[in-house]
Structure 1
Amino acid sequence: MRGKPETAVKKLAIPIMISMLLTASYNIIDGIWVAGLGQAAIAGIGFVTPIFMILNGASVGLGNGATSSISRCVGAKDHEGANKSAAHALLILLIASIILTIVLLLIQEPLLRSYGASGQSLAEGIKYGTPLFLGLFAFMFGNGGSGILRGEGDMKRAMYAMIVSVALNTLLDPIFIYILGLGSAGASLATIVSSIGAASVILYWILIKKDTYVKVDLKNFKYDSKIARDILKVGIPASMDMLMMSIAVSFYLIFISSIGGEFGIAAFTSGQRLYLFAIMPLTAIGSAVAAVSGSAFGARNGDYLSRSHLYGVKFGIAFGTAVTIILVAFAPQLSMLFAYTEDTAALVPAITQFLQIACLCLPLTGAGMASSFLYQGVGKGTTSLAWTIIREILFTVAATYILGIGLNWGLIGIWIGLATGRILASILNFIYARYTIKKIRQDLDTSV
């Protein structure tokens, strides 16, 4: 964390990458098994996607708040501050779990209907969503606990916990969905049980075994509003990042439903699973940049701050390019993972088209991700949120509407809009990040 930034980003990114790919594999594994339930089930779960993004975004966002707060304490060599930040992060995760459970259960059906869900797809969506929202505490403490470990630079154990979780999900999915006959509800139940496994392992390390860098003492815990605000000033905007993306996906679902109905939703949902899987390595690189830049900022080292961002950008572009080549070249074969039955075979060309067009944004998205996480690392969570709004709402929603509906290009227009909006916004985000780093370095030099 305090050493050469390029080495730190690389060493931290790889285990985070593995952890996030394992997390994303939940979505892939669920999609493969749910495909056997038919097009209505695929579409129903697809309609739940933006609501699930709120849940997942809150857990990841609050985890990022913990990462930022703890990593800045590590950089400043403030061990006691890191301990207090970790304890406050756990309290915030508990409160958020209770509030979100109540809210999401109340709003899920009205939201599903507003996206265009009806009939069987609505029923499947509710079957899938209800268990997921009842068990969201598992996501909160799993992702939040991982954020605490990332903040102290311990990425490997978060990865180990996720390996346990994914192994459980892979085993339980077919049992719950088909053997027990729970259908869509079985997929979400398997995910929740698996997430409980990951959260339990992480909390065991932090609270019981107590062999982490941060030492959480709940018995002598004293609430400090300043520490809570420090976590939330990054955590809330980071959570809002996913809320903005959820709102954007809601618009995509409305546009797609009006153009292609249940068929279009099923194609988008299936392709989006692979897109989100491909995004995970880029998010991991960004998370590493957040941790290293936070440590550099805490140590008041402007050179390391700049180098961590540039290395993350180069790493993200290289990885994004490699992933794009794979997705484009093997799109037909990958599409068949989610359309292997007679009822769903017609989806293969549409999923293939989505992958070969929408995923072209991935290389430059890597640069945008590193830039957005840089803001979180230095405590500028609202700046990160602003760029999410610019990317997903101002650029991408506008592009999908203009091309898909305005110019009447149909689904292909939606796919082109997804790629175009994200490419343009990512370029601008990178430029602004370099400007931000320049200003921070000037401020640090002036205050010396």
Structure 2
Amino acid sequence: MNQDFMKTKPIFPLVLSMSLPMMLSMLINSLYNIIDSMFVARIGEDALTAVSLVYPLQTLVVSISVGFGVGINAAVAFFLGAGEKENADRSAAQGLLLSLLHGALLSVGGFLCIPYFLPLFTSDARILDWGMEYAYIVLSFSMVITVQIAFEKIYQAVGNMLVPMVCMAAGCITNIILDPVFIFGLGPIPRLEVKGAAIATVIGQVVTLILYLIWYFCKDMGLSLGRRNMKLTGEICGKLYTVGVPCSLTMGLPSLLITVLNGFAAAFSPVYILILGVYFKLQSFIYLPANGIVQGMRPILSYNYGAGEKKRMRRIIQICSVMILVIMAAGMLLFLLAPGIIMKLFTADVVTVREGSAALRIISLGFVVSGVSVICSGALEALGKGFASFLISLLRYLALIVPAAWLGIQIAGVTGIWTAFPVAEFLTAIAAAVIFAVIYHKNVGSIPS
């Protein structure tokens, strides 16, 4: 497969062609998350709270998988841009093998963690039983997640966005169809409630991986993932982990943030844990177009970096920045104008709807400015500067928001948790712009025009 189109095709249609398939697949994935929560909520608020408590662990598995996948993506695209096909093959194959190993470790670690993690946030026996039941099932399939995400990033690196879109969409649609079947029971399948939601989830994940394997073995992807290329080498592993480790830490920070904020919220009422769980699922829906653009931009930018196309790189970043800021402005308006309607999708409780609506309005005030951090982090990852991207996310998801939430609680009670979001986004955006400008000038500014 020839990837020269990444440095010859007009930028705006190129970004759209690379981003739209990922936006669509991520949209379906986000809709699944929301619909899944809606089905679980029909069992009762305790069931939704139980699933919300497990959400940070699920997010951690996905975050580590995506983070390392970004390392694979950046390495493969860079080597293809530099004309080093053999190194691109090795990067993809070794990345796939390491992803399998990561999945095994995550399953074992999750099993050891579950009995100690969930009781930190509730002593309610029913919530704990449901939460542990759900967690043991979904975490046992961590290897499926890590490998399917590795395939996703490899296909993106060669400019093929159709395969990830189809595979991810098929898995999510399978989830959506099977949720009511396993949760409420249908025909010979008994009513399994929260356990049924977990079973539907893992079946959907398996469907996605099977489709990736079928596609790989039936149609040439332009890379060789054979055993010969899977032999681990220090050079390739170093390049994968240089971006992958910081990016995995970056992607894992939201899980840590959710855990900390759940601890803060639990001091007030389980209602606020539910609201946080709903928000973080909605957040993935709001941010998905921006993340889709970043996923489309990343291999294009890496390829042109490897090819030394300095002017084209600058234009790619400018166009993607405008697109992301417009999208985040639309998300902010949605949360400001219709928070009550959104909350009623998850609960009919008047107090929960009222408190949730207030939270969504406040949090959304940071959406537009957060676009600066999103584009800077994505561009730095494309340049192979994973640590710098991690630093931005560390500020955004931990170093600024947690102290802001703690201080906000002292001043305004639970409202201080919601206020911490826009405060942290504004401060992080300033830091992100400075970090990106310095690194971009140092690494790209030296490329001959």
Range moving further from structure 2, 357-366 or 193-202: 357-366
Q: What is residue 360 of structure 2 aligned with on the other side?
A: 355
CA distance in 2, matches of 1:196, 1:345: 39
After superposition, the C-alpha distances for 1:313-333 in whole angstroms (9 at most, x for unaligned) are 211101111122123222211
CA distance in 2, matches of 1:225, 1:283: 31
Q: Report deviation, 1:107.
A: 0.5
CA distance in 2, matches of 1:171, 1:161: 16
* Structure 2 CA distance for partners of 1:117 and 1:215, relative to 1, 3 Å: farther
CA distance in 1, matches of 2:184, 2:403: 41
Q: What is residue 399 of structure 2 aligned with on the other side?
A: 394
Q: What is residue 191 of structure 2 aligned with on the other side?
A: 181
Q: Check whether the contact 2:78–2:302 (CA below 8 A) recurs between aligned residues.
A: yes
Normalised by the length of structure 1, the TM-score is 0.93
Q: What is residue 236 of structure 2 aligned with on the other side?
A: 227
Unaligned runs of 5+ in 1: none
Unaligned runs of 5+ in 2: 1-5
Range moving further from structure 2, 261-270 or 95-104: 261-270
Q: Report deviation, 1:164.
A: 0.8
Q: How does 1:402-417 map to 2 (within 5 A)?
A: 402-403=407-408, 405-407=409-411, 409-417=412-420
Q: Give aligned pairs, total.
A: 439
Q: Report deviation, 1:10.
A: 2.7
Q: What is residue 374 of structure 1 aligned with on the other side?
A: 379
Q: What is residue 305 of structure 2 aligned with on the other side?
A: 297
Q: Which AA in structure 1 matches 2:206?
A: I
Q: What is residue 30 of structure 2 aligned with on the other side?
A: 24
Q: Which AA in structure 2 matches 1:58?
A: I
Range moving further from structure 2, 193-202 or 286-295: 286-295
CA distance in 2, matches of 1:280, 1:411: 27
Amino-acid identity (%): 23
Range moving further from structure 2, 117-126 or 86-95: 117-126
Q: Report deviation, 1:221.
A: 4.1
Q: Which AA in structure 2 matches 1:231?
A: L
Q: What is residue 12 of structure 1 aligned with on the other side?
A: 18
Q: Check whether the contact 1:271–1:335 (CA below 8 A) recurs between aligned residues.
A: no
1:336 aligns with 2:344: yes
Q: Check whether the contact 2:56–2:258 (CA below 8 A) recurs between aligned residues.
A: yes
Q: How does 1:426-437 map to 2 (within 5 A)?
A: 426-437=429-440
CA distance in 2, matches of 1:28, 1:366: 23
Q: What is residue 288 of structure 1 aligned with on the other side?
A: 296
Partner-residue secondary structure (3-state), 1:37: coil
Q: What is residue 216 of structure 1 aligned with on the other side?
A: 225
After superposition, the C-alpha distances for 1:174-202 in whole angstroms (9 at most, x for unaligned) are 11111032211211211111011111111
Q: Check whether the contact 1:302–1:440 (CA below 8 A) recurs between aligned residues.
A: no
Q: Check whether the contact 1:312–1:367 (CA below 8 A) recurs between aligned residues.
A: no
1:59 aligns with 2:62: no
Q: What is residue 385 of structure 1 aligned with on the other side?
A: 390
CA distance in 2, matches of 1:224, 1:90: 14
Q: What is residue 307 of structure 1 aligned with on the other side?
A: 315
CA distance in 1, matches of 2:132, 2:341: 30
Report the aligned-residue RMSD. 1.8
Range moving further from structure 2, 192-201 or 301-310: 301-310
CA distance in 1, matches of 2:263, 2:122: 6
Normalised by the length of structure 2, the TM-score is 0.93
1:326 aligns with 2:334: yes
CA distance in 2, matches of 1:418, 1:197: 36
CA distance in 1, matches of 2:210, 2:123: 35
Q: Check whether the contact 1:17–1:281 (CA below 8 A) recurs between aligned residues.
A: yes
Q: Report deviation, 1:36.
A: 0.7
CA distance in 2, matches of 1:121, 1:422: 33
Q: Check whether the contact 1:286–1:371 (CA below 8 A) recurs between aligned residues.
A: no
Q: Check whether the contact 1:290–1:375 (CA below 8 A) recurs between aligned residues.
A: no
CA distance in 1, matches of 2:121, 2:11: 44
